[in-house]
A and B are shown apart, each in its own frame.
Chain A
Amino acid sequence: MAYARRLEQSASLLAVLAIWAVATMFVGAVPSLPSPVEVAVAFVDAAASSSFWQEVGRSTFRVYLSFAIATVVAIPLGLLIGRSEVFSDLTFPALEVLRPIPPIAWYPALTIILLTPANIVRFIIFLAAFFPILLNTIEGVRGVEEEYPQAARSLGASPFQTMRHVVLPGALPSIYTGLVNAMGLAWVSLVAAELLSSSGLGYFIWNAFTAGEYPNIVVGMIAVGVLGYGSSALLRRLGARAIPWLSAANA
């Protein structure tokens, strides 16, 4: 059973690999596209060098740091906006205007206010992760039926305790959806921002391009894909553990 499932799940990956291999087998069909074998060789080379792992580490750390800050800011803000009409009116319009601006579009503006490239990248990832977490928190809070906070108040919970023990856990499934989305977008923006800066995996990809080391472009791309996938998988696993009541069997 588990084996068959694994096989199904790898089908799409194998298909991508097959299309790629076929496209490069006919020389000239797609000029200059490195073949899977070339990329594999380049990967072995890269894996042997410390600079590749340095970029991987740098990018991963950036994503996780900015993601953590976004989580810590967006969840409390979302709880307040979702719960208080006044607070929502005071803050939400400004946030709604900022939201459609693609994080990468902040790059020039952040440069002219003299942030360092590293801080710009951090800020851009923060922005990318912030909005999905915020919006999903708000939605989750508004989805908590009023009966539960009422019941909590009747049992003597203070407004803060009601938030902590009732509203937050009630909104948690939606918050986790936001976190998983945010993690994906964080990686997307990381690469975009790093293409314009001078370190990290985005820079690795861009550098390979300008230096004409085409297989390394693909090595960088795959690295981003795998790291992004791994981060989301990690979050899903943590999420399932933090929301045990949803997986509790319906007896």
Chain B
Amino acid sequence: MSSAFLQDALIYLACAVVFVPIAKKLGMGSVLGYLLGGIIIGPFFLGFIGAEGKDIMHFAEFGVVMMLFLIGLELEPATFWRMRKLILGMGFMQLGATTLLCFAALFWVGFTWQAALACGLAFSMSSTAIVMQTLREKGLTKTESGRSSFAVLIFQDISVIPILALLPLLAASTTQAPSGGHATLMTGLPGWAQTLTLLIAANAVVLIGRFVFVPFLRFIARIRLRELFTAAALLIVIGTAYLMMLVGLSPALGAFLAGLVLATSEFRHELESDIEPFKGILLGLFFIAVGASINFKLIIGNPVQIMALVCGVIAIKSLVLYATGKLSRLSFDQNMIFTLGLGQVGEFAFVLFAFIAQLQILSAPWTDMMMGATAISMTITPLLLLINERLILPRFGTKEALGEKEADVIEGEHPVIIAGFGHFGSTVGRFLRANGISATILDNDSDRVEILRKMGFTVFYGDATRLDILKSAGADRAKILIAAIDSPEINFGLVERIKKEFPDLRLMVRAKSRLDAYDLLDMGIEDIYRESLDTSVRLGVDVLMKLGFRKYSATRAGQNFIKYDEAALRTLAAHRHDQEAYLFNTREQIALQEQLLANDREVFPNVHDDAWDKRAED
């Protein structure tokens, strides 16, 4: 291992560790942190990384490859089918209209029609990496804007395959000299043959996935070595990527296809949890590399052209996106998030531009300009979203608070704050309201906020983990805060923030599972409500009744079981850390169940319930 490698690793990791927490503290999200970190350590500011930044970029693109593998994995055919209208409708409209407008604009300023069309196609791509990461961090994946963004991104990601297949047909000369880069199998083939190769390769991945990967994984899983499974997972991703590279295609697409094929296999969750950490780190590296690759010399050299390009592209994309959102009847807030979120040019544009340059459709200096514009637009997106969240939406969209109403909130009038008003929080809220307790609600789905406000609820709109929103919602005066956000990560973030900033506020926390409950216990939370416990036990009680148990005995058994399970949760939580690392995440769940069942047999009191009946033993 060379010292240069260690030095590079040191710089990149330190950059991530320093800048991401700062960005998070400032409420900017991790993507912007990585990007800014990259710019600052890049050749134009501190110069810690120089020309080799490009190589790192190639390496870091592997983060994108893994991300697409994971997206493919998550996208079960059933989900895909359910969203088909959204994906095809919105996706086609966005891609088609953006390409057309960009084509027209570039043709108008004097590009050849081939170059204009190729650039238009590249510009129609948005950044799946940035958008998905941002949406997940903000907990917006389940809102209308989140679903729409996902649909459009999926359509774009899939479209890259036919676009890559089409580009050779646009090439001015069919026999182009390779520009000294790595030679691929496709180099030198005529356009139609390249198109054919591509389609064959895509089909090959699907077939190999089904008939080679799955049996291979079954074999590896039987050996029961965790690191071997991780190695196998990485091997599949890297192998597919390499194969695609060999035929001169985007490795990311190969990985996406492989993921799609494996989504229906039994290894889906294990693959997901194995690849996830690699993806996270490499994607961060990718963002840093994008930041570092921004060529400020080029910008200073042609400031007007670059800025016109960036603004023009973002303007055209946003216009099309807004119209698309409007047509699918997104409300103003959701549409603004959707529009600005997808307004940048994405990482696939790098791939496409590189390919376009290779085919000599576009000259090298212009390719540099286009790539520069792409990187700048990616950096601007998180900033635009931030401006949208802090300045535009509060003024023109759903207000964070109802201005006049806020003044009316008399001290102690709303003793309860509910963070997250999904199926869990809303039931709590309705029950409290039915008993004359009005709660202040925090939610980040603007559509829901609109409806709730119409119904007369006091609702604050925004990210519940933000200090200013918590303050304006009265967290310093309220007695109880109910943390009922659907995403456990965000809910935990909220819990941590409250414990630190408002130590007097009583926390009552929703836990999605037993494991989440353990984590909350570790954090020192007392009032933990597992969302499935009571309902499952109630169902069990009903089963006993249907089997002929007397209703009161069954009810008592249920009461005792809940009491016992709550106690067991607390005793077993302490022993949890004694266990060795488990083979798989899912194995941990199973081991947990085993432990519980053993415990049930030893101490569960119900079997000995002889209340009212002591004498019958005689």
A binds B: no
- Which of B's residues lie within 8 Å of A, judged by CB? none
- Which of A's residues lie within 8 Å of B, judged by CB? none
